[in-house]
Amino acid sequence: MKVFLTGGTGFIGGRVAAKLRERGDEVVALVRDPARARDLEESGAQLVRGDLSDRAALAEAMTGCDAAIHGAAVYKVGIPASERPAMYEANVVGTENALGAALDAGIPRVVYVSTIAAFGNTRGQIVDEDYEHPGDSYTSYYEQTKVEAHRIAKRLIAEGLPCVIVQPGTVYGPGDHSVVGKQISDFARGRLPAIPFPELGFNMTYIDDAADGILLALDRGELGRSYVLGGEITRMGDVMATAARITGRKPPRAIPSGLVRALRPVGPLVGKLMGQPPNLRELVASADGVTFWGSHDRAVRELGYSPRPLEEGLRETLAQ
């Protein structure tokens, strides 16, 4: 199979590319800077220089491919307003162009990598793929752009795009440079005595499980369906307690939520000191009493998806 891939230099996309090559598939990877894609090139992937801004150029690059996986996105929470236009272009316009190009090029099978965050705050409930974001408020601008992108994918499916949507949870593992990944690695190094919002709820998904799930969706997913790719439904405090058990360290203390909320006006300064993004207001809105919980039962039942428990995934992460 010849697969066109966006996001191949990213955390999830890099593992997807590696697994495609390991099983013998050809990979045509869209990259903005070939110098940053040496791992892709060394794996045998064909690099195509470009970005997500030109739908016609994307359709031309996809010509001759049997499938496409669109995984490119900007994932940041707590960004200043000045970074919003770039995020919108990448996450919303980029998805319209990439999936639209696949439709234009007549690609017979497409996978769009969405996110559990497209559900928004599930308010303590474990939802499934039929749940719709209420659309009345968003915990972050990232969430807003991914909700819009998810709706674009559904609209294009209705227009004839042969697409499967996957929704990974909070993906972690070796090489994760997200805020959550940094907290896990900082704790393992003894640099995280306290954490904010231990009640923040995630479905923690190990990186290899997320990549395997994307390939399962590519091979077996029903066109037009969405599949949550989760791991273990938990909370940030429990993640750290598990990491503490593995490392033999004392779990980090909880920073009182009221204190963090009170520091929002001086977010850029406090964020830097706490190793957090500068927009503390958005960070609080996306973490204070929030859960991003989705059931992956459909993927287990229909795709044969089999994620590992959190403790197993954290052991593999911390062993690196």
DSSP string across 10-44: SHHHHHHHHHHHHTT-EEEEEES-GGG-HHHHHTT
What pLDDT is recorded for position 263? 62
Helix-strand-coil percent breakdown of the chain, rounded to 5? Answer: 45, 15, 35
Q: Is the pLDDT of residue 243 over 90?
A: yes
Q: Is the pLDDT of residue 251 over 60?
A: yes
Question: Considering only CA atoms, which of 122, 101, 114, 111 is closest in space to residue 147?
Answer: 114
Q: Is the pLDDT of residue 197 over 60?
A: yes
What pLDDT is recorded for position 281? 86
Q: What is the pLDDT of residues 100-143, one digit of tens each?
A: 999 999 999 999 999 999 999 999 999 999 999 998 899 999 99
Amino acid occupying residue 221: G
Query: Strand runs (DSSP E) across the chain, as ranges?
Result: 2-6, 26-31, 46-49, 67-70, 110-113, 163-168, 170-172, 194-196, 201-206, 226-229, 232-235, 253-255
Residue 304 and residue 212: Cα distance in Å, rounded? 10
Q: How many CB atoms lie within 10 A of CB 2?
A: 15
The domain locations on the chain are 2-174+204-232+293-309
What pLDDT is recorded for position 210? 98
Q: Is the pLDDT of residue 153 over 80?
A: yes
| Residue of higher predicted confidence among 257 and 218 | 218
Q: What is the pLDDT of residues 39-91, one digit of tens each?
A: 999 999 999 999 999 999 999 999 999 999 999 999 999 899 999 999 999 99
Question: Considering only CA atoms, which of 218, 224, 232, 217 is closest in space to residue 302?
Answer: 217
Q: What is the pLDDT of residues 167-193, one digit of tens each?
A: 999 999 999 989 899 999 999 999 999
Amino acid occupying residue 114: S
The structure tokens listed for 95 are: 């998805």
Residue 248 and residue 242: Cα distance in Å, rounded? 10
Question: Hey, is 136 helix, strand or coil?
Answer: coil
Q: Is the pLDDT of residue 320 over 90?
A: no
What pLDDT is recorded for position 275? 54
**Sign of torsion over alpha carbons 319, 229, 167, 71:** positive
What pLDDT is recorded for position 268? 56
Instruction: Supply the CATH classification number for the domain 2-174+204-232+293-309.
Output: 3.40.50.720
Per DSSP bridges, beta strands 194-196 and 201-206 are: unpaired
- Averaged confidence pLDDT in the chain: 94
